[in-house]
Amino acid sequence: METLVPNPMAAVDASAAALFRAVAGVDGKRPTILFDEIDTIFGPKAGENEQLRGFINAGHRRNRPMFRCVGDGANQTVQAFHSYAAVAVAGLGYLPDTIRDRSVNIRMRRRARNETIEPYRTRIHEKEGFALRDRLATWAEQVSERVMNVWPAMPEGVTDRPADVWEPLLAIADAAGGDWPDRAREACIVLVAASKANDKGSLGVRLLTDLRDHVMVGIDRLPTVAILDRLNALDDAPWADLHGKPLDNRRLSRMLAEYMTADNEPITSRNIKAAGSVLKGYYATDLRDAWARYCPHPRKVRYLRYPAPKTWPDQHQRGSGNRPGCRYRPATHPLPLPLPATSTRLLTCAVAAVAEVAALRGTPDDSPREGVITLAGTKMLKLPEVLTEIGMSRAAFYRMRARGQAPRLVKLPNGHVRVRRTDLDNWLSNLDSPAY
């Protein structure tokens, strides 16, 4: 990169004061700062270096000078140091959030054993880089007027700070013509998405999304202990291992408190009154505004269509689809539809056969009714798991059961007692009004 940029300034361990004066102009030329081993400056063991970080942040836009006192003793004056300059940094792992948000992030990987690249040799490739830089400089002078006052079309979903970063690059790509506009926008979408993969903001958005899509589906309130149990049980989620520890109630509270309710108040836990006890938990009404503002749109629900078995009652055969005799049910695990014609026919026949058998044998109370079948079984919970989730002793649970206020118990053929996941969810959602 040093051979391709104007006025390169390689800075491995430059101080903030040195950069102030360098960017202000040396011999009338503003440098392009190339920071290598940036992890030694901003890494966890290197301290914060707030002055240097503030300088780089201020240089993201024009006319953002930094003011410093210059002089000796009482003879000091305030001087403005211009900070606007092109900066490229490279390092391992850590980068401050404020710098990452103002950057085009390119994640590098170690070269694989089967990958072959041409080695870089300074004596050979430096001249080629300088020649390419001169050609780019000549072309830039020719198109500068076409680039400066244009508003390029931004890809969908690229807004705010990422749009500020990518706008000049897309304008340059449009000026270059050919396939560059499409290639630049494709790179924009991929790199912006990759930059949000592991930052703190996206972790909070991931929490909100998991609460909406996996934890509080169809439930208007849920105790904190139940929320944590479900979050930590998600296989493809980070909650069971956050820096070596599972998500707990304190961290959950801190993360949700960063978002606001519709009344512009921080999201906090509230009392949920259960029979015999009061638990802390969260309400869906408090989360809905944050869901609408921060979470991506829910995945489109895909439907499977299958014929209603003849053994079902007449009201079930009438169906609710566009054709008589058909029923619709969201797939528990959406399939990559459309399927090939042969696969679709086989799947329809298989689902219809399962439905026919279920109708002939009879179904449990919480099994799909009225001709509706699911492709996943209902989870059965042991009683200790239920007691842990609702925060209640066994004696209190059986007292509630004697009054007819506990979730329904199912006795298995071996004599063991279980509670269906759906029964517990319905019981939690039908609790009394909260206690204040």
In tens, the pLDDT along 271-295 reads: 988 767 888 999 999 999 999 988 8
Residue labelled with tokens 């430096």? 126
Q: Which helix H or strand E contains 357, and what residues bound it?
A: helix 341-361
Q: Where is pLDDT greater, at 278 or 317?
A: 278
CA atoms within 13 A on the CB side of 132: 10
For the chain, first and last CA: distance in Å?
62
- Amino acid 186: pLDDT: 92
Percent of the chain with pLDDT over 90: 16
CA atoms within 13 A on the CB side of 220: 9
Provide mean pLDDT across the span 181-190: 91
Provide mean pLDDT across the span 30-36: 84
Look at 125-134, 230-239, 307-316 and tell me which has the smallest mean pLDDT. 307-316
pLDDT band per the 50, 70, 90 thresholds, residue 335 = very low
Q: What is the DSSP letter of 411?
A: E
Q: Provide the phi-psi class of 93: left if phi over 0, else alpha when psi is between -120 and 50, else beta.
A: left
- Amino acid 256: pLDDT: 94
Nearest one of 274, 293, 267 to 430, comparing CA atoms: 274
What distance in Å separates the CA atoms of residue 201 and residue 212, rounded to the nearest whole number?
17
Q: What is the mean pLDDT of the chain?
A: 76
Residues 221 and 434 sit within 8 Å (Cβ to Cβ):
yes
Provide mean pLDDT across the span 35-43: 75
Delimit the domains of the chain by residue range. 8-101, 122-195, 203-294, 303-361, 380-429
At 280 the three-state DSSP class reads: strand
Residues 36 and 87 sit within 8 Å (Cβ to Cβ):
no
What distance in Å separates the CA atoms of residue 292 and residue 66, rounded to the nearest whole number?
38
Provide mean pLDDT across the span 342-349: 41
Residues 147 and 168 sit within 8 Å (Cβ to Cβ):
yes
In tens, the pLDDT along 69-120 reads: 888 878 888 878 778 888 888 887 767 777 878 888 888 777 888 888 888 8
Burial of 93 (0-12, 13-18, 19+ CB in 10 A): exposed
What distance in Å separates the CA atoms of residue 59 and residue 63, rounded to the nearest whole number?
9
Name the CA dihedral angle for 223, 228, 233, 239, rounded to a multiple of 10 degrees: 150
Spell out the residues 6+ positions from residue 103 whose beta carbon is closer than 8 angstroms to its own: 89, 95, 165, 195
What distance in Å separates the CA atoms of residue 417 and residue 14, rounded to the nearest whole number?
69
- Amino acid 434: pLDDT: 52
21: which 2 tokens? 């004066």
> pTM of the entire structure?
0.53
